[in-house]
Copies of this chain bind each other. A is one copy, B any other.
Amino acid sequence: MRTIKLAMLGYGNAAKAFRSLLEEKADDLRDTYEVEFDFVSIVTKSKGDLLGSSTDTALDVAETADYDILIELTPLNIFTGQPAISHIEAALTRGKNVITANKGPIAHAFKRLDTLAKENGCFFYYETTVMDGAPIFNLTRETLKFCKVTEVSGILNSTTNYILEEMAKDIPMNEIIEKGKSLGFVEADPSLDVEGYDAAAKTTALLNVLMDADMTPDQIQRKGIEDISYGDIRNAAVEGCKIKLVCKGWREHGKVYGRVAPEYIPINHLYATVSGTSSVLTITTDLMGKLTIIEEDPDILQTAYGVFSDLVRIVEKEDAGYSEE
């Protein structure tokens, strides 16, 4: 029996759900891999290390605590990826494995962090950063080996998907926003979603990981839905279309490009059927053509599962004696 020590940075809903899931599956994990998990630190910004000193910061823990895997779940800064990048960097520099659900580091510093992980022989996983626990990065990594990703596209921001749908029902914007907030689909400040920043960060993450792009979100051509009017949506309907905020990435003359923009989607196209908080991603590869994956109405359990699945992967890879490929 092996005990794996976990340090968790951030203790919001996803972190709590992950911790519950890990407890729920403790027996299965013990039976399957002969491992147990022990949280040595759980750090929040306001309370310090809940299992240690109240003066310890997340960076202190990443830099000095005695753990095997850092679980990085601090809040996102979509413009810088910080402070998550520093936490991850500190852990990888020490040769510690890292799991994050924070898209900031993948959108802003993936290449650097991934290289650092490889140099130090540790694992760096981030399945949850796009489409929650839906296996996007693992699907490509584990099941599409030797396939070269040539294109990605998808609907990856549920807030705008929800707002556009409600607009199509002619519901006034203030009602949409109020109801969206009460359902948890709309943030206190919806501008990061509405103006396409969240979608651009996810697109960058996809391009960095799947297409080896080494980009930052400001290099994505970004247009949000803030200028879409009720009239635009009616006009689209007249032409048999819905308006959706679509993310795209492609390769042209050896360079990778990304774009986020509202698009007319014909109502008989599968993207038109992706509604509410569901999301969709199409991955085009040289050997397998277009594969599309749809996640329907995820909740916090799917986020927890994404982190959990990364954890299981690290255990398996270590058992198999792999180092990071």
Contacts and interface: CB of A to CB of B under 8 A. Distances in A.
B138 A142 contact: yes
Nearest to A273: B270
29 contacts: A21-B287, A28-B146, A133-B287, A133-B288, A135-B139, A135-B143, A139-B139, A143-B309, A145-B312, A146-B308, A147-B305, A268-B272, A269-B273, A270-B270, A270-B273, A272-B273, A273-B273, A288-B295, A289-B296, A289-B299, A289-B301, A290-B297, A291-B294, A292-B293, A292-B296, A293-B293, A293-B294, A294-B294, A321-B321
Interface in A137-172: 138-139, 142-147
Interface of A: 21, 25, 28, 133-135, 138-139, 142-147, 267-270, 272-274, 287-299, 301-302, 305, 308-309, 312, 320-322
A163 to B, nearest CB: 19
Contacts of A138: 142-143
What is the oligomeric copy number? 2
Contacts of A133: 287-288
Q: Which 5 pairs of residues, A with B, have the shortest CB-CB distance?
A: A135-B143, A320-B320, A270-B273, A292-B294, A290-B296
Contacts of A297: 289-290
B302 A288 contact: yes
A270 B294 contact: yes
Contacts of A312: 145-146
Contacts of A274: 270
A321 B320 CA distance: 7
Contacts of A135: 139, 143-144, 291
Given A25-B146, A320-B322, A134 B291 contact: yes
A145 B139 CA distance: 12
A252 B236 CA distance: 44
Contacts of A288: 133-134, 295, 302, 305
A232 to B, nearest CB: 20
